[in-house]
């Protein structure tokens, strides 16, 4: 927050508190708060006159108490612009303390499964561990992959046993820990629009879809010259690079002609964030075990 807006927030906040306090004191009846009167404020509504009695003592004291509480709170905690408060409290520090406490409390629970492999966690007697992995998946992964792990446009389906980098327990664990950076280069400037559409026509035939024969023939030549380094001569991809299999009709960004052409023309960049600094090894293993179970039922 800039210095101007910090001062603006501070002035407005304090002005409201002190302004309300001044108004209350100015309109108070001094020492006559115990007395009642038959005088009215001069207004009448539907035949009902409002008496000009002072505020009850308890109401006045309660209001002043809230003013004192508010000033003490603003002195101790953030609330006045950039002023951090005398206690130095931040939501980040509180979150870190709560997470540290939770890790300490639940450490024995995770330790119970730490010695088990992902394969062992698939056994019926370890169902509780898989359910823990499912809950952590929902908290950390479902925003991209969905609560059912079926993915979305640009986010892989984790239930179909079709993997960009491999679906072994060790690979899944490494993916969650270190993340992945997928990159499909843009070929629009190299191929031109006609070349893009020719290659798209050929790519469609790899998964059994129909395309124009002449465009497919031209596209095959260009595919072999530019695309086989990653996708292979047969178009079945390469796990080491995360290059997808183009023959199985499973598409991360859509398999229509226009979707494929857009991918070739403009490229794609997919990022799976690393979780090694967010989750412990024990937690990652439980999530990997849950994901492994989805495609190995």
- SS3 of 217-228: the string is HHHHHHHHHHCH
Residue 184 in marked binding region: yes
User: Is 231 marked as a binding-site residue?
Assistant: yes
Contact present, 286 and 138 (Cβ < 8 Å): no
Q: Which residue has the tokens 């002043």?
A: 64
**pLDDT beyond 60 at 208:** yes
Which DSSP symbol is given to 270?
Answer: E
* Nearest Cα to Cα of residue 154 among 268, 295, 3, 33: 268
User: Percent helix, strand and coil across the chain, each rounded to 5?
Assistant: 55, 10, 35
Residue 114 or 265, more confident: 265
Q: What distance lies between CA 32 and its chain's CA centroid? A: 59
Which domains are seen in the chain, by residue range? 3-76 (no CATH), 92-179+275-294 (1.10.760.10), 182-272 (1.10.760.10)
- pLDDT for 15 equals 96
Q: Residue 230 is inside which H or E element, if any? A: helix 228-231
Is residue 272 a known part of a binding site? yes
pLDDT for 172: 96
Rounded to whole angstroms, the maximal C-alpha distance in the chain is: 102
pLDDT at 30: 53
Res. 4 pLDDT band, cuts 50 70 90:
very high
Residue 64 has pLDDT above 60, yes or no: yes
Q: How many helices (H) and strands (E) does the chain have?
A: 11, 4
221/46: higher pLDDT = 221
- Pairing of the two strands 180-184 and 268-272: antiparallel
Distance of CA 18 to the CA centre of its chain: 41
Q: Which two tokens stand for residue 158?
A: 């984790």
Three-state DSSP class for residue 117: coil
Pairing of strands 180-184, 48-51: unpaired
> Whole-prediction pTM value?
0.72
C-alpha–C-alpha distance, residues 225 and 127, integer Å: 49
Strands 180-184 and 40-45 turn out to be unpaired
Mean per-residue pLDDT of the chain:
91
Phi, psi of 11 (to 5 degrees): -65, -45
Q: In the structure, what pLDDT confidence band is assigned to residue 29 with cuts at 50, 70 and 90?
A: low
47: number of Cβ within 10 Å? 5
């Amino acid at each position: 927050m800039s210095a101007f807006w910090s001062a603006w927030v501070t002035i407005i906040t304090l002005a409201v508190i002190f302004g309300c306090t001044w108004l209350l004191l100015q309109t108070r009846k001094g020492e006559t708060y115990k007395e009642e009167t038959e005088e009215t404020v001069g207004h009448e509504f539907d035949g009902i006159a409002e008496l000009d009695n002072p505020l009850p003592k308890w109401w006045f004291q309660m209001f002043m108490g809230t003013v004192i509480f508010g000033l003490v709170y603003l002195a101790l905690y953030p609330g006045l612009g950039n002023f951090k408060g005398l206690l130095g409290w931040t939501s980040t520090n509180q979150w870190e303390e709560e997470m540290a406490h939770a890790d300490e409390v639940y450490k024995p629970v995770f330790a119970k499964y730490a010695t088990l492999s992902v394969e062992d966690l698939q056994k019926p007697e370890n169902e509780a561990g898989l359910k823990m992995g499912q809950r952590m998946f929902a908290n950390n992964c479902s925003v991209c992959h969905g609560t059912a792990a079926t993915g979305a446009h640009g986010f892989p389906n984790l239930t179909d046993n079709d993997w960009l980098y491999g679906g072994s327990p060790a690979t899944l664990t490494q993916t969650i820990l270190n993340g992945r950076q997928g990159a499909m280069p843009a070929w629009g400037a190299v191929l031109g629009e006609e070349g893009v559409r020719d290659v798209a026509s050929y790519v469609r035939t790899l998964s059994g879809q129909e395309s124009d024969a002449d465009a497919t023939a031209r596209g095959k030549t260009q595919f072999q010259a530019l695309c086989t380094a990653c996708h292979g001569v047969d178009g079945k991809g390469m796990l080491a690079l995360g290059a997808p299999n183009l023959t199985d009709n499973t598409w991360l960004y859509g398999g229509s002609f226009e979707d494929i052409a857009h991918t070739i023309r403009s490229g794609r960049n997919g990022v799976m964030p690393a979780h090694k600094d967010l989750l412990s090894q024990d937690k990652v293993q439980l999530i990997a075990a849950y994901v492994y179970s989805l495609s190995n039922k």
